[in-house]
Chains A and B, each alone.
Chain A
Amino acid sequence: AQKVTQAQTEISVVEKEDVTLDCVYETRDTTYYLFWYKQPPSGELVFLIRRNSFDEQNEISGRYSWNFQKSTSSFNFTITASQVVDSAVYFCALSEAQQGGSEKLVFGKGTKLTVNP
């Protein structure tokens, strides 16, 4: 069975600090996809990244970076120089490759990040 674990329930940092959100996953599939979503207080999940299991290159997008390590089944997310607007709940998710393309996302419980001024 697929499972996503986000061990950090809540993190609180001061603005401009770097922060890493951990994500560990379990799957028996060789082809799968990993995601990060941000959920601000307004409620909608905002897509941040999708990574397939064959692409282990780390990715950087502005202040965001992701470290995918298949050997440890981890897909960690780092925010550099955090800002108050980064305060949200962040979800890591896993999806197996589906016939027909639709994705069944299995989510972690989320990490609530609070960035204080």
Chain B
Amino acid sequence: ETGVTQTPRHLVMGMTNKKSLKCEQHLGHNAMYWYKQSAKKPLELMFVYNFKEQTENNSVPSRFSPECPNSSHLFLHLHTLQPEDSALYLCASSDVVIGEAFFGQGTRLTVV
């Protein structure tokens, strides 16, 4: 496999559920990102990881919890979400020298 892979592609969860989104990159990159794309808003950066260390938390509510166990994998743990958290969640990775970010296909999350 090449590129950035996200699983699952679609997820429906209740407000009391706990679930996790997974992202894997096969590009040898050392920075990984979570972005949120809602229907009415521009793409918003949520978290940034550089060499497995979190370097950015863009005022994201604690019901979203990221984890980066190594430079190839990134998770987003979800718990007690609200219906307004329904969105497309996009993972991206980049090389800190070369720069441009490559995105996965996203996870379409619906909170019911």
Contacts and interface: CB of A to CB of B under 8 A. Distances in A.
Interface string B71-112: 000000000000000001010101111011111111010000
Interface stretch (B12-20, B48-56, B59-67): B48-56
A102 B47 CA distance: 11
A103 B106 CA distance: 19
A102 B106 CA distance: 20
Given A101-B97, A103-B94, A110-B42, A45 B31 contact: no
Given A105-B45, A107-B42, A109-B42, A44 B104 contact: yes
Interface in A1-57: 4, 33, 35, 37, 42-47, 50
Given A104-B45, A104-B56, A105-B43, A44 B103 contact: yes
Contacts of B41: 109
B5 to A, nearest CB: 10
A101 B105 contact: no
Interface residues of B, number: 28
Nearest to B45: A104
B99 A107 contact: no
Given A45-B90, A101-B31, A33 B56 contact: no
Given A102-B50, A102-B55, A103-B94, A50 B42 contact: no
B50 A45 contact: no
A65 to B, nearest CB: 18
Contact of A102 (B94, B102, B104): B94
B42 A43 contact: no
Contacts of A35: 100
Given A43-B88, A43-B106, A43-B108, 8 more contacts: A33-B99, A35-B100, A100-B96, A101-B50, A103-B100, A105-B35, A108-B42, A109-B41
7 closest pairs, A vs B, by CB? A101-B96, A102-B31, A45-B103, A107-B43, A44-B105, A43-B106, A50-B100
Interface of A: 4, 33, 35, 37, 42-47, 50, 91, 93, 100-110
